[in-house]
Amino acid sequence: MEKLGPGSDADTLQVLAMIPRDGFSLVVDAGSGIGRQTLALASRLQTTVHAVDTAAKHLDSLGRYSAQLGIEHLVQTHCMDMADIPAIFRDVDLLWSECAAYHIGFPNALASWLHAIRPGGYAVISELSWLRDEVPEHVHTYFRRGYPDMRTVDENLSIAHAAGYEVIATHILSRAAWIDGYYDKLEPLARSLLDHPEQAVRTFAAQTLEGIHVFDSAADNYGYVFYVLRKPVGETTAVA
């Protein structure tokens, strides 16, 4: 799998262009995974992007991909918990996180990472969000099991304001970014594992296919939303 989650370079760069600033001295990608967006950011910004992830194998893959693209000098990997970012990084100009903040909780991530960002710096964080008030029951049932903490866009905007951010913009991840290179590769792989001798593998494959079916039938009731945020200039940077 070249992608470990929904996303596309086109969406990443479209959101990057929403930030009213051209250059960044310190960029951190929280929960980088194998780094599709890390590479897109590094290539466009031509500045070092610090990729943070707890999986060493993902960071090793990112290192290989960056070398293949000839931009290994623009990617620095850190095998660590994204919750520890404020203890390691100071005065971050741009903190980026796609499909990862939920690992430590969206409200907790926003509150924690604010301390690592310099006044006037930016955070771009994508979070799975409800997009409509009326949601089919089978979709609600699926996410009550899989992600019961999922909130509406307005609720997440309120969380961002309460954490101390200014909201610059939002962007809904395109439907194609879920399918191309992700679900279109994941679905046949999951189907091939339905008869695997290990029960745990069969269960995981069935759950994966259920998630794809829910997405196909959900009529855009949910999606990943990028929240483009700014730390006010009047805020000071401190360790939580």
CATH 3.40.50.150 fits 9-177+220-230, yes or no: yes
Q: What is the mean predicted confidence (pLDDT) over 126-145?
A: 93
Q: Given a cut of 80, is residue 104 above it in pLDDT?
A: yes
Which pTM was predicted?
A: 0.94
- Whole-number Å distance between alpha carbons of 151 and 153: 7
Determine the pLDDT at residue 234: 75
Q: Is 235's pLDDT higher than 70?
A: no
Tokens matching residue 166? 């200014």
Coil vs helix vs strand at 58: helix
* Residue among 16, 76, 18, 67 at smallest CA distance from 45: 16
Q: What's residue 22's pLDDT?
A: 81
